[in-house]
Chains A and B, each alone.
Chain A
Amino acid sequence: MSKSEARAKPAAAERVRAGGLGSRLRAWREQHLYSLVSSLGRLLQRPVATALTVGVMAVAIALPLGLALALGNLERFSGSVSESREIGVFLAPGVDAARADALAGELRQRPDVAGVAVRSPDEGLAEFKAMSDLAGALDVLEGNPLPFVLVVQPAGSDDGSALAASLRGLPEAEVVQHDAVWRQRLSAWLAFGERVVQVVGLLLGLGVLLVVGNTVRLDIGARSEEIAVLQHLGATDGFVRRPFLYLGAWYGLAAGLAALALLVVAGLALQGRLTALVASYGAQFALAGPGWQGTGLLLAGAAAMGWLGAWLATGHHLRRTRPTDV
């Protein structure tokens, strides 16, 4: 050893220091920005592979989301059906217009009745012709076989079962139609559908995690030399992990956007048929999307899932390549 060299150490005082909190924060921000941009660059360098991965993730996200939206729309539609709570009282064939009007007036006086509408046989026939394809067949009938119908709207918040039972006791009433049981069953189906959405969402969410994890794992494999060099140079786990986390988040975000696009396309494909179907029941209905808040939540959730999948994959690799952490 040269004694003069041993004494000479001017650079020791100049060694790289971390600096103050401000410069450290600045460096931290620069590193994150670099990882954010460079990970996006890596995705764009492999457009086909990226598109395939994002496509698989998008389908996995779109399926439960589509189910949830369909269920939401169905609930919205059934809600309007349930809220009507109308009771149809089909009067006996011999009851004439005067008696039907009088009976309607009597019913309007009852406290458990909110309103009564009288539908004449002619109105009923016209409505029937408009709603069915049997207009031609109905024309050949000699008379109108339909009776007067009273459409009774129950008051209060109950389902109208008691009122319907009471109306069945009227001597003029031949048939009383009240669909409370049907509505209860529909509610039960909707509750079951919600649970199905939750279970499917959970399973497919797990699938998204696995897809991201596997994709990032392959990327880690391709860059294992680089990771080893970084570790030799003193990179922390966080430094090594950071670009992969951003990569996962980009995958998730892109998959979320693609899932939304898939749902828009699916919605457009279904809207026309659905409108026709609903119109055949004399109603109007438009499909509702997730809305701005739902869209934001979806994109944030998808990015978070991508981040989590990448975090799991990198954690596994870092644990395996940490020879001195004993």
Chain B
Amino acid sequence: MALLRFDNVTKSYPGTPPALSEVSFAVEEGEMLFVTGHSGAGKSTLLRLVHLSERPSRGTVLVNERNLAKVRGRKVPLHRRQVGVVFQDHRLLTDRSIYDNVALPLLIAGTPGAEVGKRVRTVLDKVGLGGRERSLPMQLSTGEQQRVGIARAIVAQPQLLVADEPTGNLDPQLAAEIMQLLASLPALGTTVMIASHDLALVKRMRRRVLVLDHGKLVDDISPEDLAA
């Protein structure tokens, strides 16, 4: 059973060509894949549909066989808690400590305080920021801030993690480190979907790649084909 499936999904906005057009694909649980394409190809729109920040104009998006079109109003936050999200610009709350930033998804989910502390420290250790709990985001480097963003996205152990250009602001070495961190998540049972326009980086990761062009899915490259 696919964790995520797009069936003939089209997303259009008034007065512009469709951002996505008749896109179909499926993602298995525990998979890691990239969505790539030039700027404006529809990568971010695709991720926004998964995260329910947008709804498709046509077609269906299924997560765990659940049609997201039927997720309405008060149920949207519950869906979002199952989808971790990593932003290019981190979107950390600058007036709160690293601990408080990472703890947010757990507080939102109503996790008891003692459990919150345990999970936050565990995940900060995992992203290499153990002992920095009390620091403010501005006291960290850009790469470290992105690590905090990833820690926040995975602390509630979501089924699916979507990352929109997570290495867009990083130098090549930091970008590779972040990618390695993200690549370790499927082993923990989290499906990872990354939008990136950095083809060289994507090729090095040797994972499945969906290629978008002007909103159309023009290629679905397996890791084996990528290696060839």
Interface size on A, residues (CB 8 A): 41
Q: 1/0 contact trace for B151-195 toward A, CB 8 Å? A: 010001111000000000000000000000000001111100000
Question: CB distance A11 to B189 under 8 Å?
Answer: yes
Q: Across the interface, which residues of B come within 8 angstroms of A233, CB to CB?
A: 80-81, 85, 104-105, 108, 152
A8 at the interface (CB under 8 A from B): yes
Near A by CB (< 8 A), chain B positions 57-87 give 72-74, 76-81, 85
Number of B residues, CB within 8 Å of A: 48
- Would you call B28 and A1 a contact (CB within 8 A)? yes
Q: Are A1 and B32 in contact, CB atoms less than 8 angstroms apart?
A: yes
As a 0/1 sequence over residues 83 to 118 of chain B, the CB contacts with chain A under 8 angstroms (1 = contact) are 001000001010000000000111111111100000
Shortest CB distance A264–B (Å): 37
Residue among B79, B91, B112 with most chain A CB within 10 A:
B112
How many pairs, one residue from A and one from B, have CB atoms within 8 Å of each other in the complex? 121
B53 at the interface (CB under 8 A from A): yes
A225 to B166 alpha-carbon distance, docked (Å): 19
Chain B: minimal CB distance from A324 (Å) = 5
Q: Give the Cβ gap from A217 to chain B, nearest Cβ, in Å.
A: 20
Interface residues in A1-15 (C-beta closer than 8 Å to B): 1-2, 5-12, 14-15
B83 closest partner in A (C-beta): A234
- Which secondary structure dominates chain A's binding surface? helix
Question: Are A16 and B109 within 8 A (Cβ)?
Answer: yes
B51 within 8 A of A: yes
Q: Mark B1-43, 1 if CB is under 8 A from A, else 0.
A: 0000000000000000000000000001111110000000000
C-alpha gap A34/B106 in the complex (Å): 14
**How many angstroms from the CA of A33 to the CA of B208 in the assembled complex?**
46
29 contacts between A and B (CB under 8 A): A1-B31, A1-B208, A2-B207, A5-B32, A7-B30, A9-B188, A9-B189, A11-B157, A11-B188, A12-B157, A12-B159, A15-B156, A16-B157, A19-B111, A24-B110, A27-B112, A30-B112, A229-B91, A232-B80, A232-B91, A233-B85, A233-B105, A233-B152, A234-B77, A234-B79, A236-B108, A323-B53, A324-B52, A324-B55
For the complex of A and B, the 10 pairs showing the least CB-CB separation, nearest first, are: A9-B189, A234-B81, A234-B80, A5-B186, A11-B189, A11-B188, A6-B30, A1-B31, A12-B189, A27-B110
